Amino acid sequence: QSKPQILTIDDLEHHATLHLPKMVREYYNGGSMDSYTLQGNVHAYRQWYIMPRMLRDVSRIDTSAQVFDRKVTFPCCVAPAAMQKMAHPDGEEATARAAGAKGVVMGLSSFSTTSLEVVKKECDEATAATEGACVLQMYLFENRKVSEDLISRAEKSGYKAIVLTIDTPYFGRRLTELRNNFKVPSHLTMANFDASLGVKTGSHLRTEERQNSSSDNNTNSLPPPSSKESSRKTTTNPPPNKNDPSLTWDVIQYLKSITSLKIFVKGVLTASDAQLAVRHGADGIIVSNHGGRQLDCAPPTLEVLPEIVDVVGGRIPVHFDGGIRRGSDIFKALCLGADMCWAGRPVLWGLAYDGERGVKMALDILEEEFRACMALTGMRSVEEIRQYGRSLLRRVST
């Protein structure tokens, strides 16, 4: 059978999800409740035309950008996403190698199916010729010792920052997961947590709490375990530790008191919360609605980005994620003031399609489209896109 032609992220999504068992496909693709927010994220880009400038000598286009003290190939990081070995047996290792080789930053979910040390090692080996790097996403658990342990391991391993996800005090109701009786396949483990330490695993995913509750034939068709990790760990997951729902903005000071790593908060959706993040000492924020997986009816991230950028006023970096499927989506977010974009599902679809090679394809597509968009708008550097900013866009009239 001949290989399909993959030109866009939509092509990748189509061909990747053909492979995946229904339960996994719907876990990756789904949103909460009616998926208004999920759909809104993607559609928001269609509200903006791009106003191109001509005759500006675009013979040299520099797509590179600065983030976490690194020079990355283009302004797009890999968003943290849990349990990547469900997409492909190589899981996070493949993503780390592809991100490292491409020269972008990988955000590792602490609910990964590969340990943070192994991921960092894979990323380092791939970054020989690039400035790719890793940052660790985490939640804060009721048992603080667990989180502190995770942070100190991230420090030791050379992670560049901690991304604290703040939009998950409670679980978004993901109806497909409930209908599919989603559970983590028994051959996979939450590799960052060790039962012998009394460290609990899989806590943030309501669905994982039910992992042993029933059988599901779909899991039989999941990819087999990767050899390296499966030999490393044989324990079954202990009962979940709880995400701390009592957190307030003081959490930033607490984290800063226990680590010198930069603290970014992920999940800001209002100008008021952006102000609070600055006031409480966050090193950066990520405007995010968790890819439409938490509060349904939350606004599309592109919609709220400008007011957040305005209120932050350059005091700290404003990162952005949600619905990025094209290079022009990255371009529009930068025009509206984002300092950096993150892509979630495009990378997962690449991974599901063809492991490391598929993740590379996803990143290459986004970069190539972004480069073309820069050339066709007369923008020669990311800095120039920032300078011209909103003048490069026009709102579609309704």
Q: How many residues bind ligand FNR (CB under 6 A)?
A: 24
Among residues 110, 105, 111, 154, which one has the least CA distance to residue 130? 105
- Binding part of the chain for ligand FNR, among 7-15, 74-82, 231-239, 355-363 by CB under 6 A, reads 74-82
* Minimum CB distance to ligand FNR smaller for 81 or for 382: 81
Near ligand FNR in 6-65, by CB under 6 A: 27-28, 41
Backbone φ and ψ of 283, nearest 5°: -85, -15
Backbone φ and ψ of 375, nearest 5°: -60, -40
Burial 175-207 (b: 16+ CB within 10 A, else e): bbbeebebbbbebbbbbbbbbeeebbbbbbbbb
The single residue of 15, 88, 204, 290 carrying the catalytic annotation is 290
Backbone φ and ψ of 70, nearest 5°: -120, 155
Shortest separation between residue 250's beta carbon and ligand FNR, angstroms:
20
* Minimum CB distance to ligand FNR smaller for 289 or for 380: 289
User: Distances in Å between the alpha carbon of 109 and those of 32, 65, 344?
Assistant: 19, 23, 11
Shortest separation between residue 267's beta carbon and ligand FNR, angstroms:
8
Shortest separation between residue 226's beta carbon and ligand FNR, angstroms:
18
> How crowded is residue 249: how many other Cβ atoms within 10 Å of its Cβ?
15
* Minimum CB distance to ligand FNR smaller for 349 or for 380: 349
Given candidates 17, 73, 109, 192, which one binds ligand FNR under the rule CB under 6 A?
Answer: 109
* Minimum CB distance to ligand FNR smaller for 28 or for 48: 28
Q: Would you call 34 helix, strand, or coil by DSSP? A: coil
Query: DSSP of 51-117, one letter per residue?
Result: ----SS--SS-B--EEETTEEESSSEEEPP-S-GGGT-TTHHHHHHHHHHHHT-EEEEESS-SS-HH
Q: Cα(206)–Cα(209) distance, rounded to whole angstroms?
A: 5
- Per the annotation, the verdict on 290 as an active-site residue is yes
Q: Is 319 annotated as a binding residue?
A: no
Residue 266 touching ligand FNR (CB under 6 A) = yes
Residue 84 touching ligand FNR (CB under 6 A) = no
* Minimum CB distance to ligand FNR smaller for 183 or for 290: 290
Residues contacting residue 128 through CB under 8 Å, at least 6 positions apart = none
Shortest separation between residue 264's beta carbon and ligand FNR, angstroms:
11
Shortest separation between residue 358's beta carbon and ligand FNR, angstroms:
15
* Minimum CB distance to ligand FNR smaller for 181 or for 381: 181
Near ligand FNR in 279-338, by CB under 6 A: 288, 290-291, 293, 321-324
CB 216 within 8 A of CB 23: yes
Q: Which two tokens stand for residue 294?
A: 């938490």
Backbone φ and ψ of 286, nearest 5°: -120, 115
CB 212 within 8 A of CB 183: yes
Using the Cα atoms of residue 113, residue 78, residue 352 and residue 218 in order, give the sign of their dihedral. Answer: positive
Q: Is 189 annotated as a binding residue?
A: no
Given candidates 76, 82, 134, 351, which one binds ligand FNR under the rule CB under 6 A?
Answer: 82
Shortest separation between residue 12's beta carbon and ligand FNR, angstroms:
13
Residue number with the smallest Cβ distance to ligand FNR: 344
Q: Which two tokens stand for residue 193?
A: 């947590």
* Minimum CB distance to ligand FNR smaller for 28 or for 45: 28
Shortest separation between residue 111's beta carbon and ligand FNR, angstroms:
5
Which 8-state DSSP code applies to residue 154? H
> How crowded is residue 26: how many other Cβ atoms within 10 Å of its Cβ?
19
Residues that bind ligand FNR (CB under 6 A): 27-28, 41, 79-82, 109, 111, 137, 165, 266, 288, 290-291, 293, 321-324, 343-345, 348
Which residues participate in catalysis according to the annotation? 290
**Which residues make up each annotated binding site?**
27, 80-82, 109, 137, 139, 165, 174, 266, 288, 290, 293, 321-325, 344-345
**Which residues make up each annotated binding site for glyoxylate?**
27, 139, 174, 290, 293
**Which residues make up each annotated binding site for FMN?**
80-82, 109, 137, 165, 266, 288, 321-325, 344-345
